[in-house]
Structure 1
Amino acid sequence: MCLTSDYWLEGVRRLESPNCSERPEDGDISLLVIHNISLPPGEFGGHWIDHLFTNQLDPEAHPYFADIYQLRVSAHLLIDRLGRITQYVPFNKKAWHAGQSVFCGRENCNDFSIGIELEGCDDKPFTDAQYQRLASVTRELRQCFPAITDESIVGHSDIAPGRKTDPGPCFDWHHYRTLSV
């Protein structure tokens, strides 16, 4: 797996999201944020995450969707339960994944971060395939963006405490860090 000159990963599924924007001119890419997502909550598979990130979520398809279908959000990548990757936003652009957030005193983490969603939830373990792919992607991203250090790989909960809980207590940070060296 490698990065193309237009900041997409080769060999992964590409589904472009309109929910992105240009980074600030001085925007270094120095933060990697790990999230979890499942739609409907606690359910895996299907196309609902794709639909959310591309503004096509049907509010009548599930009661939960009526509250979120108007959100304009995206991540750079999704890694599903089988380890398959979908890329929604090229890495040189700002994906809208972090919301109100702060890292080391810097606000608006979307400006300088890459967001990776793992298909999952706070109370279920992630799969080995997800850890393997996340570690592989992390190694590639760190080669391309050396400002991403061990200390700047965080969970959404770390940059939005009290507002977000993901990737949650079932995410095995030690296992992930061991694989990604």
Structure 2
Amino acid sequence: MTQLALQPHFAIDAAGWCLQARRVPSPHHNERTAPDDISLLVVHGISLPPGEFGGPFIDDLFMGRLDPDAHPYFAAIHQLRVSAHCLIRRDGELVQYVPFGARAWHAGVSSWQGREACNDFSIGIELEGTDETPYTEAQYRALAGLTRAISGRYPAITHEKIVGHCDIAPGRKTDPGASFQWEYLSQLLNLESK
């Protein structure tokens, strides 16, 4: 990543949906106990099957329709009831599963700065990838643009409150992994704030 590029512009409607996202409403969410307390953005990494990109399987998992016979790995996870607010695919496509004002089920057992149950006060963004595979320029640009829109709607989400799944579930989760370039994301966010 050598040249800092402008990020796409994203807008969020009153219902909490990003207007530029492909909308795939997941049943795996519920209402937040304190909807005005959205103060953390959690970056995740996901690929289904592990190490493979593209295909319908992430959508299928978040929709509760993952076929356990489609791949041996799916037999162990097809009954999970999980979701994230958004997914950014390798080409930068943005998919949204849960409106930002609702509680997606992305963090699991988690804590941040002494607060448990991060799903209650966070937004979860999945990047299609693995801990070891470098994320794409298109993903960084989309993540920076989306983060800017989210921070505009939820100003408690400052740069210091953008964390990895590994930060809220240490010892249990490692994503987005060592290949994620936090400094580059910070540069993109700082570029846009000037």
- Scaled by the length of structure 1, the TM-score of the pair is 0.98
Quote the offset at 1:53 in angstroms.
Answer: 0.1
Matching of residue 91 in structure 1 with residue 100 in structure 2: yes
Counterpart contact for 2:34–2:120, Cα < 8 Å: no
Structure 2 gap ranges (5+): 1-9
Residues 1:136 and 2:145 are matched in the alignment: yes
Deviation at 1:12, TM superposition (A): 1.3
Give me the identity figure in percent.
Answer: 60
Query: What is the SS of the residue equivalent to 2:171?
Result: coil
2:113 to 95, 104, 108: 104
Q: Which runs of 4+ in 1 moved over 3 A?
A: none
Query: Which whole-Å deviations, capped at 9, do the CAs of 1:32-70 have from their partners, x for residues lacking one?
Result: 000000000000000000000000000000000000000
Q: How many residues align?
A: 181
Which secondary structure state, in structure 1, belongs to the residue aligned with residue 72 of structure 2? coil
1:160-171 to 2 correspondences below 5 Å? 160-171=169-180
Runs of 5+ unmatched residues, structure 1: none
Residue in structure 1 matched with residue 69 of structure 2 by the alignment? 60
* CA distances 1:154-176 after superposition (whole Å, capped 9, x unpaired): 00000000000000000000001
Contact 1:31–1:152 under 8 Å retained in 2: yes
CA shift at 1:25, angstroms?
3.1
Alignment-mate amino acid for residue 88 of structure 1: Y
Give the superposition deviation at 1:26: 6.1
In 2, the alpha carbon distance for the partners of 1:15 and 1:100 equals 25
1:27 Cα deviation after fit: 5.2
- Residue 70 of structure 2: SS of its match in structure 1? coil
* TM superposition shift of 1:11: 2.0
Contact 2:144–2:188 under 8 Å retained in 1? yes
31 and 122 in structure 1: CA distance in 2 versus 1, 3 angstrom threshold: same
Cα RMSD for the two superposed structures: 0.8
8 Å Cα contact 1:2/1:10 also seen in 2: yes
Counterpart Cα distance in 1 of 2:100 and 2:189? 19
- SS of the aligned residue for 2:139 comes to helix
CA contact (8 A) 2:35 2:101 kept: no
AA of the residue aligned to 1:130: Q
